[in-house]
């Protein structure tokens, strides 16, 4: 079974996206946004079948852990009330996808974070998504300000309320920033990878998993710069008199495979223990084109893993086994189905 841990609903119905613009305009004008539009099941089916599902089928992906579009979370826009309303709409929409295609999608919660707002405000929506909508993980934005890194490190007590809820609910988080409002910071080419890298170093400096031994965090985009600089991190752990990374972090931190060329994936699988690698593609997403060097889509990351010189068991763990361990609620859903 092939589980893609990193898919975004980037082809959401136009009415959904248009409503968001109206919501933001209303907030800016100090007025009330229009009611959320009615969107038919057929519209949702169409947006899924023509893109995400078509690509999943073409590439042999059975199930996608599916979230609202990450760059559109835009926690830096509006205030906490705007973010809450938007998160609920996005999560409800993803829930409809998971209801229409229950065998192919499980949901990821967008949290209603807002710059400087206490993260407590996200706990209720996380709980709703997990307990009522059947979601198995959330996206936690380490920089809800949108590109200026003005929030406390992930090891700070600021974040503890959401970690406590995650541990109680048995859901992990993918540490995923949203769009950038910083003109110096391109979202998918600069900000995402910078934030991934910075997040890992925050964890290395701290001692978060002593306090939350069951907390599990996925750092997307192949862990940012981290595997490429694994020697630097091993050395820094030593210099900072921290325990070695394997025992300090790697029971709780996982990297996905959203790295869009064979040499990158080869390095990832070479340097990082395969138990810490989750298959992901980030599609339909950051990079949509076909690599002229291979003739295949850049983000068809399954091909890169298929081509690795590792055992079938290791591939199975990257494609399925690790995900079932890291997302216990996903494992429970699959077991219920006899899978």
**Candidate segments 18-26, 51-59, 115-123, 233-241, binder of a copy of itself by CB under 8 A:** 233-241
DSSP class of residue 310 equals S
CB of 10 to a copy of itself, least distance (A): 13
> Could you say which of 282, 314, 320, 336 is catalytic?
282
**Candidate segments 74-82, 100-108, 113-121, 186-194, binder of a copy of itself by CB under 8 A:** 186-194
**Candidate segments 61-69, 91-99, 132-140, 230-238, binder of a copy of itself by CB under 8 A:** 230-238
Please name which of 65, 94, 60 lies closest in space to residue 5, comparing C-alpha atoms. Answer: 65
State both tokens at 55. 């690509």
CB of 263 to a copy of itself, least distance (A): 5
Beta-bridged to residue 217, according to DSSP, are: 173, 253
Q: Which residues contact 142 (CB under 8 A, 6 or more apart)?
A: 151, 154, 175, 177, 195, 198, 199, 202
Nearer to a copy of itself, 8 or 221 (CB): 221
Nearer to a copy of itself, 43 or 291 (CB): 291
CA distances for 148 relative to 40, 113, 197, 200, 226, angstroms: 38, 15, 15, 17, 21
Q: Pairing state of beta strands 105-110 and 137-140?
A: parallel
Name residues contacting a copy of itself, limited to 137-166 (CB under 8 A). Answer: 142, 147-153
- SS3 readout for 199-232: HHHHHHHCCHHHHCCCCCEEECHHHCCCHHHHHH
Nearer to a copy of itself, 298 or 327 (CB): 298
Does residue 282 have an active-site annotation?
yes
Q: Tokens 């409800």 appear where?
A: 92
DSSP class of residue 48 equals I
Nearer to a copy of itself, 4 or 299 (CB): 299
d(CA 154, CA 177): 13
Site string for a copy of itself, 9-48 (x = CB under 8 A): ----------------------------------------
Under rule CB under 8 A, residue 270 binds a copy of itself = yes
CB of 154 to a copy of itself, least distance (A): 8
d(CA 62, CA 57): 7
Q: Which residues bind a copy of itself (CB under 8 A)?
A: 142, 147-153, 182-186, 188-191, 193-195, 197-198, 200-202, 204-205, 221-222, 224-225, 227-236, 238-239, 259-261, 263-264, 266-267, 270-271, 286-289, 291, 293, 298-299
> So which residues are the catalytic ones?
282
């Amino acid at each position: 079974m092939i589980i893609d841990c990193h898919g975004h609903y980037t082809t959401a119905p136009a009415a959904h996206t248009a409503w968001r613009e109206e919501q933001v305009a209303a907030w800016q004008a100090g007025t009330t946004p229009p009611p959320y539009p009615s969107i038919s099941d057929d519209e949702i089916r169409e947006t899924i079948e023509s893109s995400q599902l078509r690509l999943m089928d073409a590439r042999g992906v059975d199930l996608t852990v599916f979230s609202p579009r990450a760059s559109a979370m835009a926690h830096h826009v509006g205030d906490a009330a705007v973010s809450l309303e938007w998160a609920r709409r996005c999560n409800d929409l993803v829930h409809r996808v998971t209801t229409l295609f229950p065998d192919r999608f499980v949901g990821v919660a967008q949290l209603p974070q807002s710059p400087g707002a206490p993260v407590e405000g996200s706990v209720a929506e996380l709980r709703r998504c997990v307990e009522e909508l059947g979601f198995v993980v959330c996206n936690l934005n380490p920089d809800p300000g949108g590109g200026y890194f003005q929030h406390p490190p992930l090891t700070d007590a600021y974040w503890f309320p959401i970690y406590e809820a995650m541990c109680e609910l048995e859901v992990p988080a993918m540490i995923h920033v949203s769009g950038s409002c910083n003109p110096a910071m391109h979202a998918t080419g600069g900000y995402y990878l910078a934030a991934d890298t910075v997040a890992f170093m925050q964890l290395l400096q701290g001692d978060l998993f002593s306090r939350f031994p069951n907390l599990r965090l996925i750092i997307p985009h192949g862990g940012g710069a981290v595997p490429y600089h694994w020697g630097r991190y091993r050395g820094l752990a030593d210099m900072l008199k921290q325990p070695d990374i394997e025992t300090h972090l790697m029971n709780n931190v996982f990297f996905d495979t959203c790295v869009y060329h064979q040499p990158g994936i080869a390095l990832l699988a070479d340097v990082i223990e395969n138990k810490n690698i989750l298959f992901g593609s980030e599609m339909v997403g950051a990079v949509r084109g076909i690599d002229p060097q291979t003739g295949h889509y850049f983000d068809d990351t399954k091909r890169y893993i298929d081509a690795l010189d590792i055992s079938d068991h290791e591939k199975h763990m990257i494609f399925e086994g690790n995900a079932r361990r890291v997302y216990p609620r996903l494992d429970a859903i699959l077991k219920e189905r006899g899978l």
